[in-house]
Structure 1
Amino acid sequence: MATADQVKALVKSHAEGDNSRFYTVALQVAAGAARNGQNRFAQDLRDLVDSLRVQENSRRVTPVVSVAQPRGELAQLLTVSYPDLVLADLVLEQSVRARLDRVLLEQRQGDRLRSHGYLPMRRLLLTGPPGTGKTMSAHVLAGELRLPLFQVRLDGLITKFMGETAAKLRLIFDALSETRGVYLFDEIDALAGERGSSNDVGEIRRVLNSFLQFLEMDQSDSLIVAATNHPHLLDRAIFRRFDTVIDYPLPSPEIARQVVRNRLANVPVGRLEWSKLSAEIEGLSHGEIAIASDLAAKEVILSGAKQVTTASLRAALRERRGHVS
């Protein structure tokens, strides 16, 4: 059954109208019930959460955007999707979650802030190792705010003719003003590497300067999300152009356990000996842990085994660590 802390979290999230947090805690209660053999209750609770999410999404109205699909040259520069993810779908360190919560709050209360002469945060730089949730966070921001997600295709943006790259950047920033959305510049270090590096050339510096100027001049209502696995490669000036920089660390032991529990929620799980799993989990990202957990879950389904065991999960984690290495 639910712990005292979980009951308090359920009541607090309900009082604050934080549906995402409410659903997260409810799913944690369901996972705990499943581990204690209360499978029927766990499944009923998961079904209830899914039903409430569907009802909530049906009440949301997706705003009409002026461009449903990028056309012309923009089609070579942007891909668009309409994510339905919410913050509760991500397992993140509390510090990262709090920063994203703040961005969402300021976006939702943007008119209130503007009435006092302030602007909501809308330029985010996400840094951290691969697989820690940076790109997924852009999907969640779009899903929570019911906005389209436009992903910038760097392969179409960066050409051998740097003048063309600057012109294409202008097209993207024009689109930001015309169509409100979340615009994701993934692997931004390819575009905003440090000036003066040993392999730098004048044209590359000019492209970076253009990017910095476009960021500075942009007055749109769109969110700009830039992500990098290598923040040390970024030009120092880029950090000043963003409203906030959010660092995504590798998961703590507790977060790693939560990732495993969430991924194994739909299959029987034996009593896991975390002391034996910690060495295999340490150093892996959220994404790698999720892949290994999925592998262990599918093995139970396909082999007809009774449950995921410490040994089977440990083997899946070890296999994934070998791929990473």
Structure 2
Amino acid sequence: MKKSDVLDLIKYHYEGRETEFRNQSIAIARNFNKHGDTQLAQYIMGLMSQSDRFMPQIENPSEYLTPAKLDIGPLPLPLSLMNDLKGIINAVNHHIGINKFLFVGSPGTGKTESVKQVARLIGKELLVVDFSHLVDSKLGQTVKNLATLFNEINNLPFKQNYIILFDEIDSIVLDRVNQNDLREMGRVTSAFLKELDRLSPEIVLIATTNLFENLDKAVTRRFDAIIDFDRYTDEDKVEVATIILNELLKQFKNVARDLKLFKKIIYSSNTIPNPGDLRNMIRTSLAFSDPQDPHDYQKRLLRSLHSGKNLSISKLSELGFTVREIEILTGVSKSSVSRELSEG
């Protein structure tokens, strides 16, 4: 980034040239991202996404589209997934009609949050399709609603400023061959395919699903890229959990910050949960913790990871916890822990 870029930014701000200011801000954010300062790029784009000043709003809010709030905090993801998101951003910025993406994976793997991340990084507003209004029990009405939705999408002002999110798209396009109600499901899926084919190339559309195997194959072929989020190793999950903990600990005082013990607690689970579930467990453990006991959240997290059970001293030892760590997690003195282990 050149000094002139910053000077131009200040100039555009004081002259009230909002379009130039926005474009210059995006260019600076992309420059930071290109040179490895992803968090600063995310912060800049997050600020822009939250401000009405920089983003033209829909004059007549749609019945089917809901603007989503974009958080400005970092999204911890494995490097392989971060590289895929950067690839999507590059594809969109090349403006060559690569504009439809499908995120697949188990619940809690960060699909929806990653869509928000992409929106932040490229400075677009995120509009989420509201299936509660789109899907109608009346025969044929869903197909009509779908046509109306895509008409609204294709006629958005400033199309280049939006990302459309079909979150859990399996709600409307499950495999036509394997469904009981073949006629209605087939009509809806066929209508979606037709509308997807006439989508404006200026619109970025991202869909997510937990049920990739159940999607109609004709639908999956329409997407330019499919990103698999089921690629977390146990090490990835532990590192993500550590980032989540460090963020949450900023809100709490007088709690232990023993990251080594925290990681051992996560690793002690037979099957380490996905990041979304880990976030909920860590947040709840901290929220419910006794402010007089700095280690209480660690004890609660351990129980949460083991179906609410209190693990015995011998079990904790088998899992690799030291005598000192067992004392912290059980409240039993080190001498008593050592005695029990030697007798056992």
Task: Name the structure 2 match of 1:256.
Answer: 237
SS of the equivalent of 1:165 reads: helix
2:114 maps to 137
| Secondary structure of the structure 2 residue equivalent to 1:129 | coil
- 2:179–2:185 contact (8 Å) kept in structure 1: no
Q: Does the 8 A contact of 1:162 with 1:203 survive in 2?
A: yes
Relative contact order, higher structure (CA 8 A, sep 6+): 1
Following superposition, the deviation at residue 191 of structure 1 comes to: 0.8
The one-letter code matched in structure 2 to 1:304 is Q
**2:9 alignment partner in structure 1:** none
1:22 and 2:14 equivalent? no
Residue 54 of structure 1: CA displacement? 6.4
- AA partner of residue 183 (structure 1): I
The correspondence for 2:180, drawn from 199, 210, 227, is 199
Shift of 1:128: 0.6
1:278 Cα offset (Å): 1.6
Matched, 1:161 2:146: no
Aligned to 1:297: 286
DSSP 3-state at the match of 1:17: helix
- What residue number does 2:78 align with? 93
Deviations 1:220-255 (A, max 9, x none): 412111111111110111111101001111632222
- Counterparts of 1:53 and 1:141, CA distance in 2: 12
SS at 2:269's partner residue? helix
> What does residue 78 of structure 1 align with?
65
Cα distance, 1:264 vs structure 2: 2.0
Return closer, same or farther for 1:197/1:315 CA change in 2, 3 Å cut-off. Answer: same
Q: Percent identity?
A: 22
- Return closer, same or farther for 1:55/1:277 CA change in 2, 3 Å cut-off: closer
Task: Give the direction of change, closer, same or farther, for the CA distance of 1:234–1:17 in structure 2 (3 Å limit).
Answer: same
Partner of 1:64: 56
- 1:190 counterpart = 2:171: yes
Query: Which runs of 5 or more structure 2 residues have no equivalent in the other structure?
Result: 1-28, 250-254, 310-344
Report the Cα distance in structure 2 between the residues aligned to 1:320 and 1:287, rounded to whole angstroms: 19
Match of 1:313 in 2: 301
Change (3 A) 1:213 1:93: same
**Aligned residues between the structures:** 267
* Matches of 2:287 and 2:220, distance apart in 1: 42
Per the alignment, residue 214 of structure 2 pairs with: 233
- Whether 2:192 is the aligned partner of 1:211: answer yes
Q: TM-score w.r.t. structure 1 length? A: 0.71
Query: 2:32, 2:38 within 8 Å by CA — same for their partners in 1?
Result: no
Q: C-alpha offsets along residues 26-66 of structure 1, whole Å, 9 cap, x if unaligned?
A: xxxxxxxxxxxxxxxxxxxxxxx79x93698369962324x
Q: Does 1:104 pair with 2:94?
A: no
Q: CA RMSD in A?
A: 3.2
> Cα offset for 1:310?
5.2
The Cα of 1:292 is off from its aligned counterpart by 1.3
Deviations 1:99-127 (A, max 9, x none): 111111222342xxxxxxx33x2111111
**Structure 2 residue 275 is the aligned partner of structure 1 residue 269:** no
Equivalent in 99, 115, 122 of residue 122 of structure 1: 99
Counterpart residue type for residue 298 of structure 1: A
CA–CA separation in structure 1 for the residues paired with 2:38 and 2:226: 27
Q: Partner of 1:53 in structure 2?
A: 43
- Specify whether residues 156 and 259 from structure 1 end up closer, same or farther in structure 2 by C-alpha distance, changes over 3 A only: same
Residue 282 of structure 1: aligned partner? 271
Question: Mind listing any 5+ residue stretches in structure 1 that lack a counterpart?
Answer: 1-13, 25-48, 111-117
3-state secondary structure, aligned to 1:272: helix
* Change over 3 Å in CA distance of 1:308–1:253 after alignment to 2: farther
Stretch of structure 1 that moved more, 244-253 or 234-243: 244-253
Which of the two has higher C-alpha Rg? Answer: 2
Deviation at 1:139, TM superposition (A): 1.6
2 CA distance for matches of 1:198 and 1:18? 44
For residues 285 and 309 of structure 1, do their structure 2 counterparts lie closer, same or farther at Cα, with a shift above 3 Å needed?
same
SS of match in other structure, 1:18:
helix
Secondary structure at the aligned position of 1:303 is classed as coil
2:10 corresponds in structure 1 to none
Q: Secondary structure at the match of 1:225?
A: strand
Q: 2:227 aligned to 235, 243, 246, which one?
A: 246
Deviations 1:154-174 (A, max 9, x none): 121111234221121112212
Per the alignment, residue 114 of structure 1 pairs with: none
